[in-house]
Amino acid sequence: MLKRLWKPVVGTAVLVGAPGYLYFKYTSKPKPRETFDLPVRVRGTDGKATMSTRAIQLLTKEEVEDRLHEHAEASSVPRHGMVWKKHTAYLASNDPIEDANASKIVERDPSELSPPGDLMFFAVMDGHGGYDTSRLLSRVLIPAVALELDLLIREPSAIIPKSGTLSNLRALLSPTKASQLPFDANPQFVSLAIQRAFTNLDSEIVDAPLRFLAQTMVQEGGKEQAVPDLSKHPLAEAMLRPALSGSCALLAMFDTAHRNLYVAIAGDSRAVAGVWEQTPDGSGFWRVDVLTDDQTGRNPNELRRMQAEHPADEANTVIMRGRVLGGLEPTRAFGDARYKWPAEVQALLNKAFYEGNGQSMRSTPALLRTPPYVTSRPVVTHRDLSFLPSPDAPSKEKPKSAMKFIVMATDGLWDELTSEQVVALVGGHLAGLKGTIPRGELAQLVPTTTGNTIEGKDKRQRSAEEGAWAFVDDNISTHLIRNAFGGGDEVKLRQLLSIPAPLSRRYRDDVTVTVVFWEEGREEEARTSTFTANDQVRAKL
């Protein structure tokens, strides 16, 4: 009986239920989205700026989680007895984002002087005035450095400064440890090669529009005519944009063959390392090793350098309000040609590339007199990687002090967190902390020392005792970004991530974070994904 009844019952349910569902779907009103009030600056009809209030739609918890994890990736790769892990994530404030990042492994060819190993590159780029320079650097900066290092091996005289006869005689009579190293294992020479790669690449970017204009004028026979109109040339924008926009660049290179770490910075991004210091009782603490200084006009070292490189009568104008000529914040960067080209060159390029379209370049800085004011020459920091296995001393005893990770991030992270907070947050994550932890308790759970950070920007950090940290993410970079913008304070996190561009730039910057950490052995547990060895930038090193 029941078998014969089920079809009519189902049919009735379909006939009655479907129209009812459709009626409910199309007649019921959607639940209104939550909003919050945000103070915004607006200009009235008289041109004066006033403050107003704007209702901002609040992202749901699920939407916030999607946004935090949308651009997160984690990978690991076994290399020569170590498992190297990389976590990267980024969160946009600008639309589109002006940050970029890159990583690459360059396999070394072993030789009599160099054991097996790799050059492992990691880079983050913080663009400004557009994304053109940072995106270009994400493709070409690592190859440029690898090629300079290859040149250091093949033609060292092209990079190493020539010494005088007396210096050469002294080196022969009493050779130092550094002089006995292979060229690519000598930190002084490697640092020079990295600096050459940065400056030569920037010259290519900044000089490209000039070369293009000069070649065009030569092809036209050197006629005594007005500057040629290149405004509609298909290559015009491609030449100009990377030169006129700008980007900071932070590069870390692990030389596992010679057990060296090099960190190069041009700009106000920052790299810090977490060094585990074991104490006699078997416990320990994290030492904060700040690997870079923020290169802005607020850095007294950069201020002195800038003043020394320009006439004395510009001492009070090269840096104004912590900015180059009162405008640009970083004192070192790629691109930013408005601070590198003479005024007459800028006028010439404006006429050639813009006037034909009825447009114009951004105006030349009013205080520009003796350019360049911005350099791409990086400061390079060296550290020994004592934790790596050594073919000369294959001791199994673990060092009492060992670097465990490095964090590289654009300034959007450091606007919100200190170097000490970042090391503690990563150290706590690696130790397996979970859940929500009051901010004031983290120092007891994850003891850290104070790092020697030269702050280059105004900070928006809250009190160390205010709010809570959240340990809920598997990806360490996402973990840092979450805690930069609220952590365990869910309301604050939702509000900050809900503010749309361009309003969001008043409250948070683009953020890109790369965390590199490692473990000895355990190759069978390694999962290789986006961070892999490949032949795209293979160098015979």
- Predicted confidence band of residue 14 (pLDDT cuts 50, 70, 90): very low
Q: What is the pLDDT of residue 280?
A: 87
DSSP H or E run through 256? none
> What are residue 468's DSSP bridge partners?
438
- Whether the per-residue pLDDT at 324 is higher than 50: the answer is yes
340, HSE (Cβ side, Cα atoms, 13 Å): 21
CB 220 within 8 A of CB 228: yes
Q: Which residue has the higher pLDDT, 204 or 182?
A: 204
Q: How far apart are CA 480 and CA 407, in angstroms?
A: 10
pTM across the whole model: 0.88
Coil, helix or strand for 449? coil
| Contact predicate 68/480, CB 8 Å | no
The rounded percent of the chain whose pLDDT value lies above 90 is 69
CA torsion through residues 303, 307, 310, 314, sign = positive
pLDDT in tens, 169-180: 455 445 555 556
Query: One-letter amino acid identity for 85?
Result: K
Confidence band of 17 (pLDDT split at 50, 70, 90):
low
- Which alpha helices (DSSP H) does 122-223 contain, by range? 132-154, 165-173, 187-219
Position 513 pLDDT exceeds 90: yes
* In the predicted structure, residue 524 carries a pLDDT above the cut 60: no
- In DSSP terms, which residues pair with 83 in a beta bridge? 78, 519
CA 340 to chain centre: 23
Amino acid at 58: L
* Longest alpha-carbon distance in the chain: 112
Cis (ω within 30 of 0) for the bond into 378?
no
Is the predicted pLDDT of residue 458 greater than 80, yes or no?
no
Q: Is 458 helix (H, G, I), strand (E, B) or coil?
A: coil
User: Which of the given ranges, 230-234, 395-399, 469-473, has the highest pLDDT on average?
Assistant: 469-473
The answer to whether 458 and 411 are in contact (CB under 8 A) is: no
pLDDT of residue 389: 72
Q: Is residue 51 part of a domain?
A: no
pLDDT at residue 529, rounded to an integer: 38
Query: Is there a contact between 201 and 376 (Cβ–Cβ < 8 Å)?
Result: yes
Dihedrals φ, ψ of 495, to 5°? Answer: -65, -45
Mean pLDDT of the chain: 87
- Determine the number of helices (DSSP H) and then strands (DSSP E) in the chain: 13, 18
- The confidence score (pLDDT) of residue 132 equals 98
Judge whether 6 lies within some domain. no
Write out the H or E segment, with its range, that includes residue 273.
strand 270-278
Q: Is 116 exposed, middle or buried, given 0-12, 13-18 or 19+ CB atoms closer than 10 A?
A: middle
The domain of 322 spans 56-158+177-525
Mean pLDDT, range 303-330, rounded to an integer: 97
Amino acid identity for residue 356 in this structure: G
Rounded Cα–Cα distance for residues 157 and 193 (Å): 11
Q: Does 238 reside within a domain?
A: yes
Nearest C-alpha neighbor of 343 from the set 357, 312, 364, 317:
364
| pLDDT, tens digit (0-9, with 9 covering 90-100), for 76-125 | 999 988 999 999 999 999 999 999 999 999 998 777 777 889 999 999 99
pLDDT recorded at residue 455: 81
Q: Sorting pLDDT into bands at 50, 70 and 90, what band is 323?
A: very high
Q: How far apart are CA 184 and CA 188, in angstroms?
A: 9
Q: What is the mean pLDDT of residues 308-313?
A: 98
Residue 19 covered by a domain: no
pLDDT at position 406: 98
Question: Has residue 223 been placed in a domain?
Answer: yes
Question: Which whole number is the average pLDDT over 454-479?
Answer: 82
How many domains would you assign to the chain? 1
Percent of the chain predicted with pLDDT > 70: 83
| CATH code for position 206 | 3.60.40.10
Q: pLDDT at position 13, please?
A: 42
* CA–CA gap between residue 335 and residue 536 (Å, rounded): 25
DSSP string, 339-402: GTS-HHHHHHHHHHHTGGGT--PPPPPTT-SS----B-PPEEEEEE-TTS--SS----PPPSEE
Cα Rg of the chain, angstroms: 28
Cα gap 157→416, rounded to integer Å:
45
pLDDT at 345: 96
In sequence order, what are the residues at sequence separation of 6 or more whose Cβ sits closer than 8 angstroms to the Cβ of residue 72? 87, 88, 89, 475, 477, 478
Of 462 and 146, the structure prediction assigns the larger pLDDT to: 146
Residue 280 tokens read as 């006699």
7 vs 123 pLDDT, higher one: 123
Q: What is the pLDDT of residue 502?
A: 94
Facing residues of 319 across strands?
Answer: 324
Cis peptide before 19 (omega within 30 of 0): no
